[in-house]
């Protein structure tokens, strides 16, 4: 047994039923035997009752006191007393002077409280359970989701615990080891291996004499190690281009080429505050990605970013092939007035605030277009910032075609003579005129001394709308 090899043994008793051990005489008989054999072994430690939730605080204190009285030769610093309840209230026991010199055990799980969604919140939860007794307490159980699984009807895919938390599991797996580390507290990840348990840290592979254990979730393993070792290298949260999803895990890839198309939902890896900012940690649409960005599908099944709110932003690592200003088309929808976004590179705006003309609904996607100011060649980070809430964005397409070809490319207007209204970006009506074809608009703008800028052109019915850029 492990003791001869100099390892620690934790003798342990779990309750046989909710009211406690079926027969207390058996319980004492077990301990008599164990203590007789190992009581004075310097490598043996005794956790005498697991999760004693069936006892009141006073009953439990008396039970522990009887144990200490019965085995006076067991060194006190080898006796581990579980906190009351599910080993969750250490001060209930530790504050009793009869247990001076003993060690205590705390258990901390995510199971009960889905309301804690920050690392700090979990650190505080653990602090509250331990009170001022951290120097004599061991965390004999903690553990969280490592494989995909479902809790309270919500499905959780593999989680990357090296990213900033976007749900309570992530906050837990990051927060608990930090607190254990801060205290230098001994701890056990539970369960190490339990078949069919989505909290299990390892899984069994191979057969017969070749059975091996494999780590289920490397990032969870790294976080666990963080609780007890100085040697683990914790990856800083890194912003990288998104490359796709492999075996349920988001993996890094190559930057998006410009000219080229950027899918809005393919924002960079790196998490909240690094690769994106979203106002709430859930993916409201529940599609495609694991982060807080809200992704849904359009009628054709294309992924789109939705539930956008003013102040939210998304980042994309891009590789620009050629310096210059670019012509951008964007597939977007909005059911409201005043939805807008703006593009920037390294904090410098490269577009106006692009107002999305109100469509009949969010299912009614349209392609709008605009021009950027000059973009330098090379790898850099593009930011798409929501400047007016509730635009849905499918993709952005950057090309080098000049703005003068706008009309030919996205012409959705009737070719017959009709009335048009021109709005500026503040939504103010600038002009109203009749055109027979689109080339006439440039002539009209020049003749009427409309100064340079970006405008929205809408036909009288309001059905067709287009963003145009006009140079004097």
Residues that bind Ca ion (CB under 5 A): 263, 278, 280, 292, 294, 302-303, 307, 394-395
- CB 302, min distance to Ca ion, A: 5
- CB 26, min distance to Ca ion, A: 54
**Cα–Cα distance for residue pair 105/187, rounded to 1 Å:** 9
Is the CB of 106 or the CB of 305 nearer to Ca ion?
305
Is the CB of 330 or the CB of 435 nearer to Ca ion?
330
Name the packing angle between helices 168-183 and 218-226 (round to 10°).
30
**Cα–Cα distance for residue pair 174/129, rounded to 1 Å:** 18
**Cα–Cα distance for residue pair 52/85, rounded to 1 Å:** 6
- CB 124, min distance to Ca ion, A: 24
Is the CB of 119 or the CB of 394 nearer to Ca ion?
394
- Give just the sign of the alpha carbon dihedral 404, 409, 415, 418: negative
- CB 118, min distance to Ca ion, A: 16
Is the CB of 126 or the CB of 368 nearer to Ca ion?
368
Residues 6+ apart with CB under 8 A from 22: 16
Q: Show the CA angle centred on residue 56, arms to residues 53 and 177, nearest 5°.
A: 45
- Comparing CA positions, the residue from 316, 458, 469 lying closest to residue 401 is 469
Antiparallel, parallel or unpaired: β 260-263 and 392-399: antiparallel
Is the CB of 310 or the CB of 325 nearer to Ca ion?
310
Is the CB of 103 or the CB of 391 nearer to Ca ion?
391
**Cα–Cα distance for residue pair 328/341, rounded to 1 Å:** 13
> Measured between alpha carbons, how far is residue 81 from residues 88, 129, 143, 181, 347 in Å?
11, 14, 20, 21, 56
**Cα–Cα distance for residue pair 179/119, rounded to 1 Å:** 9
- CB 353, min distance to Ca ion, A: 18
138: left (phi over 0), alpha (psi -120 to 50) or beta: beta
- CB 295, min distance to Ca ion, A: 9
Is the CB of 137 or the CB of 383 nearer to Ca ion?
383
**Cα–Cα distance for residue pair 463/181, rounded to 1 Å:** 61
Is the CB of 268 or the CB of 394 nearer to Ca ion?
394
Structure tokens at 51: 């999760």
- Say how many residues make up the chain: 472
- CB 312, min distance to Ca ion, A: 5
Is the CB of 27 or the CB of 169 nearer to Ca ion?
169
**Cα–Cα distance for residue pair 104/308, rounded to 1 Å:** 49
**Cα–Cα distance for residue pair 428/358, rounded to 1 Å:** 15
- CB 278, min distance to Ca ion, A: 4
Structure tokens at 362: 């969010």
Is the CB of 83 or the CB of 292 nearer to Ca ion?
292
- CB 318, min distance to Ca ion, A: 16
- CB 277, min distance to Ca ion, A: 9
Q: Show the CA angle centred on residue 71, arms to residues 70 and 72, nearest 5°.
A: 105
């Amino acid at each position: 047994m492990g003791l001869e090899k100099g390892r620690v043994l934790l003798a342990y008793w779990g309750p046989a039923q909710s009211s406690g051990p079926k027969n207390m005489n058996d319980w004492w008989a077990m301990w008599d035997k164990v203590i007789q054999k190992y009581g004075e072994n310097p490598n043996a430690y005794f956790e005498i009752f697991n999760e004693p939730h069936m006892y009141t605080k006073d009953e439990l204190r008396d039970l522990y006191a009887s144990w200490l009285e019965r085995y006076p030769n067991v060194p006190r610093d080898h006796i581990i007393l579980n906190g009351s309840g599910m080993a969750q209230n250490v001060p209930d026991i530790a504050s009793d002077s009869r247990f001076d010199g003993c060690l205590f055990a705390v258990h901390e799980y995510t199971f009960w409280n889905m309301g804690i969604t920050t690392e700090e919140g979990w650190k505080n939860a653990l602090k509250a359970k331990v009170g001022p007794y951290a120097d004599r307490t061991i965390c004999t159980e903690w553990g969280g989701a490592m494989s995909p699984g479902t809790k309270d009807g919500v499905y959780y895919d593999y989680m990357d615990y090296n990213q900033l938390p976007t749900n309570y599991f992530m906050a837990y797996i990051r927060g608990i080891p930090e607190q254990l580390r801060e205290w230098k507290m001994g701890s056990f990840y539970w369960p190490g291996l339990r078949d069919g348990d989505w909290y299990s840290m390892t899984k069994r592979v191979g057969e017969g004499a070749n059975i091996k254990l494999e780590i289920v979730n490397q990032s969870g393993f790294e976080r666990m190690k963080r609780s007890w070792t100085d040697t683990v290298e914790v990856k800083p949260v890194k912003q990288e281009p998104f490359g796709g999803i492999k075996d349920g895990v988001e993996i890094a890839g190559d930057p998006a080429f410009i000219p080229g198309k950027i899918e809005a939902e393919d924002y960079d890896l790196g998490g909240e505050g690094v690769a994106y900012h979203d106002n709430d940690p859930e993916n409201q649409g529940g599609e495609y990605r694991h982060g807080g960005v809200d992704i849904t599908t359009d009628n054709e099944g294309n992924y789109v970013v939705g539930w956008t709110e003013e102040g939210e932003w998304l980042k994309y690592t891009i590789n620009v092939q050629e310096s210059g200003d670019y012509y951008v088309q964007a597939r977007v929808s909005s059911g409201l007035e005043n939805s807008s976004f703006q593009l920037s590179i390294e904090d410098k705006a490269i577009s106006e605030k692009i107002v999305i003309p109100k469509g009949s609904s969010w299912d009614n996607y349209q392609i709008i277009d605009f021009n950027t100011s000059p973009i330098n060649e090379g790898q850099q980070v593009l930011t798409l910032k929501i400047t007016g809430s509730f635009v849905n964005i499918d993709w952005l397409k950057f090309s080098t075609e000049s703005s003068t070809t706008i009309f030919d490319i996205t012409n959705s207007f009737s070719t017959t003579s009709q009335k048009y209204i021109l709005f500026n970006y503040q939504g103010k009506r600038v002009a109203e005129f009749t055109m027979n074809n689109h080339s006439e608009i440039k002539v009209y703008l020049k003749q009427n001394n409309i100064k340079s800028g970006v405008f929205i052109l809408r036909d009288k019915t309001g059905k067709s709308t287009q963003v145009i850029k006009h140079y004097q």
